[in-house]
Each structure stands twice: as structure tokens, then as C-alpha cells.
Amino acid sequence: MDYKKIGRELTASLGGKDNIEGAAACMTRLRISVRDISRADLESLKKIEGVLGVVESETVQIVFGPGTVNRVYEGFLLAAGLDKSSPEADVNTVARENRDAQKKKFDKPVQNFLKRIANIFVPLMPGIIAAGLINGLTNVINVSTGGALSGIWLYESIRTVGWALYAYLAIFVGCNASREFGGSPVLGGIAGAICISNSAMPLLATYNGSQIILPMTGEPYNPGNGGLLAALLAGVFFAWIEKKLRRIMPGIIDTVITPLIVLVAGSLAIVLAIQPTGAVLTRAIYSVMDFVYGRLGVAGGYILAAGFLPLVSVGLHQALIPIHAMLNDPQGPTAGINYLLPILMMAGGGQVGAGLALYLKTHNVKLKRYIRDSIPVGILGIGEPLMYAVTLPLGRPFITACLGAGFGGMMASFLHVGTVSMGVSGLFGLLIVEPGYQLQYVISMLLAYSGGFVITWLFGVDEKRINEVYPPTAAS
């Protein structure tokens, strides 16, 4: 595969260099910000070598699959004359310019808001995934060996790296939130830092044997109040104040006075209003999770697993990242065990089952080839190639995959499967499953496979539709 050639073809199909604002690569997709969506030829994009699917959203999202997307990204940057320093900052510019064009296809206030929240966390994913894997693996090692490696400097050094991301995640969230909403990242980072407990914090000091009491609550300050949501809200608030001030501040004093006012006013807002608000929202989220998981039980598991793929299809699944981060917080109500993620993982299992049913029942050679190439990574937990190359274009198999995945979600809920981190799925999900629940996870995933397979075999295979989407060639 000639990645430089692919980069040139992508650039041409997107309207040329002058129409491209920026680009970013995630695990399976190349996300490209364009100035004018009408200049992009989305149909020609789909015909470029290696492209498994195209999603038209606030950015043009081109699915290549894991591994391939990183190589294509390098070739595209070269062809489009971009560098890696710009990508994420351009998303909002493109969103504003293209919002009217996108309204016909996407509904919008809620979806746009969730995407902006996702933009805060997407750049953090490499660290979240790596730190999560370290935490998951070291937890398994601790349990399986009875803590035999505890106290060994090399092992504890590795554990410290995994701990560091989650201990200081609020700083990164505040930094990215401020950047996403047009403020200075460093000011947002300070906002996030206020939300992290440190015994040296002056507001936590003891004077004359007593702690400092806040005026509105009558209680000592709790820097962890509101958690990541407080850090996110604080970063957004700091950006809002900064933008308002810069509009009216004389240029000669703007550099000094604006940040000063932002920090002074913002710190008071965090302590008196933002953190209590974050705490209320955090409790509300946990209450909803408790209702769906605890009160609805297996029915809730079915609904969550069956409804997850539609979110993935438009990229909104990334809006769940902050919720997963909260659930995996060792200091949270679930003590770091995330019972939501294993249920959602079953969505990929439903797709794998649907893909296998299609492969065995269809006579279309092209579709069989797509399935053959997509199934292995689907089993490993990367379901987007299978979804965008197979089930979603056909329509009915996408629905049957969702319905089949629900049965795996029911089982994961019934068996109380949890994870100690996030960032992986499928077979790799065994790395982060709570120690002692690996077998239950496998049973749940096998049921998701079976559900997707059976329902698709019975109701999801339409050979006429398959041949319309994947016209047979003469060789076929």
C-alpha cells in the first residue's frame, strides 16, 4: 500500500490543500477538518485504497482500521502540508463553519455539545489507554502473586506511571476544556489543579487547630468535590471569562491583567459554585448508572449493549469517556470497578457474530473478503472496520448485530463483570477485567457472538441488498 499516494488522493478528494484545516488520527479513523464541506467528494473518498468507510460529521471521519490509519496519517500530513501540532485545535473552527451544512444530517444542539466534550478527552486517550493497561495488568499481577513484587523498585516505578495519569487527570481535563472552548490551556490546567487534593494546599491548612470553613457550605474545603466534571466545568468557565475580558481589555495590559483576573475570579467560582455543581452532576450520573444497572438489572444490560453501536456509528461513544474515567476512579463510589464498560463491550461481539453469519450465508465474494479482513480485528476489540465495511452499509445486519449484542450485555450484567480500567475491548478486554471474572467475561462475549450470529442468520441476510451494495465483478 502506497501511503503517500493515498495521502495525495485524500487531499484531492477533500478539495485540495487550501480546503483542509487540520487532521488527527484515532485508533481506526482519520479525522479531517475542512473549510467547505461542499468541496469534498465523499464518494471518491470511499473508493480510495484502504478506506473502509466515511462518516460525515463536524469533521470528515475516514475509517482505515488500526495500524493502517497511522501510516495513512503520515502520508496525508505530507500531502496536505500539515504538521502534528495543529490538528485538534481546528475542529471547532470547522464545526462553526460547517454547522449549517451538517444540520440536515445531524441534530444538533445535543450532538454538537457531546462532540465538544469528546474533543476534550480524545487527545487524552493514548495516555488513558496506556495507563489503564498498566493499572489492569499490575492489579492482575498483584492478585495472582499475592503481592510478591510489591516493594521492588522497577515494578513500583511502572505502577507509578499508571497511577500518575489518573491522579492528575483533572489537570489535563481542565487544560483541554479551556483550549476546546477558546481559552488559554495553561489557565484551564490551573483550574483542574485546584480540583486535586494536596496536603500543601493553603485552603486545606489548619490554623489554631481548626480547618478553614467555607461561607456557603459551612464545611471545610474538599478539593475532590465534583471530580473530573468540576475540572471540566472549571476549564470551560475560565475560557469564557478570558474571552470576555480580552474583548474589552486594552492591549497594553491584556497580557498581565486578563490572566490575573481569570485566576482570581475563577478560583472563587470553583470553590463556591463549580465544584458543588460538579458534585451534583456526578451524583446524578451515578444515580442513573445505579438505576440502569441495579434496578433494571439484566434488562438494563440488554438496553445498554444493544444501543451502543448506533452511538459508535456517529462517533458519540467518545462522550462516554469521562463517565468511564469516573467509574474507574479508585476513590469513587464503585472503588474503581467499571461495571458499564463490559456491557458496552458486548456490542462488538454482536457485530462479530453478525459478520460470521453473513460470511457463511452470502455468495458475494467481495463481501466475504471484507468480512475476512475485518473479523480478526473485530475479535480483538476493534469493531469499526466490520461496522463500516459490512454491517452498517447493509442496514439490516447492523440492526441484528445490535439486537444480538444485547444478550451478551444481559449476561455481563447478571454475572457482575467489571473492569479495572478502559481503553481496550474484545479479546484484549481480558487484560482489564476485574481479576477473577475473566471466565464470566468470556461467557458473556460468547453469548454476544451467538446472539448476533443467530439473529443475523435468521433475519439479517438479504442477498439482493448485498449485491446492490457490493456489486459482483466479472471474476465473482
- Catalytic (active-site) positions: 26
Within 13 A of 412's CA, how many CA atoms are on the CB side? 38
Q: Which three cell numbers stand for residue 191?
A: 483550574
Smallest CA-to-CA distance from 45 within 69, 9, 94 is with: 9
Q: How far apart are CA 45 and CA 51, in angstroms?
A: 7
Q: Distances from the Cα of 78 to the Cαs of 8, 28, 39, 305, in angstroms? A: 9, 19, 20, 40
Contact call for residues 101 and 38 (beta carbons, < 8 A)? yes
Residue given cell 471484507 in the structure block? 370
Q: What is the dihedral of CA 240, 241, 247, 248, to 10 degrees?
A: 160
DSSP code string of 399-438: HHHHHHHHHHHHHHHHTT--BSS-S--GGGGGGTBPTT-H
Which residues are CB-neighbours of 363 under 8 A, at least 6 positions away? 463
Contact call for residues 61 and 315 (beta carbons, < 8 A)? yes
Cα torsion 144, 148, 150, 152: sign: negative
Helix axis angle, 169-180 to 185-194, nearest 10° = 140
Q: How far apart are CA 426 and CA 383, in angstroms?
A: 9
Q: What is the DSSP letter of 63?
A: E
